[in-house]
A and B are shown apart, each in its own frame.
Chain A
């Protein structure tokens, strides 16, 4: 598609349940990022994927959070045993590799519209 697609757009889940959030990046974008934004707050980095390199998971808030990226394209963010503090908008972004074209000017991220997660 033309943009970054995220699904579902809204998710309400009960505390303690597991949820999966999906991100379809722009075709050809090898870099993929997950951020979250709590109500009235700034964006919080969660995880980054780049090609076949090991992902940077330094932003994941706890071991209940995990993410996969299959085939270098679609990514799934999984939250196990959800808690009320997990309620937030989860945003996915993709971009070209930071060093492409070599020596050239790197591009920006394209964000999806996010998944609004509400844990009740």
Chain B
């Protein structure tokens, strides 16, 4: 699976949009971009994923560049409860990797009042 690069940490003011970047320059054609987050002392929580089109759900939006080498997770109105470690992962849907997710160190997002 392709490797991802994320900033170690980011800050965001409550009520503002949080934009979390991720680089995945070696992504291959059948690999999806997944985002998970982990709030302290809890298991990771799925947020969103996409292949090449931008995606939106009730939690967030995912913007994938046209060349697919990078993406941005957008939390439109961050709250204090969004403080967590955010993981960007690329993984294929099937084949020999069967979609195994390899978690890196992620981005520590701190939302402050």
CB proximity of A102 to chain B, nearest CB, Å = 10
A7 within 8 A of B: no
Chain A interface, DSSP helix/strand/loop, else mixed: strand
Q: Say yes or no: A112 contacts B43, CB within 8 Å.
A: yes
Q: Say yes or no: A91 contacts B44, CB within 8 Å.
A: yes
Given contacts A99-B93, A108-B46, contact A42 B98 (CB under 8 A): no
Interface size band for A: 20 to 34
A114 within 8 A of B: yes
Q: Which of A33, A45, A105, A110 has a CB less than 8 Å from the CB of B46?
A: A110
Provide the bound-state CA to CA distance between A29 and B98, in Å.
14
Which chain B residue lies CB-closest to A116?
Answer: B41
Q: Which of A4, A33, A91, A114 has a CB less than 8 Å from the CB of B100?
A: A33
Binding site for B on A (CB under 8 A): 4, 31, 33, 35, 42-43, 45, 48, 50, 56, 91, 93, 95, 98-99, 105-106, 108-114
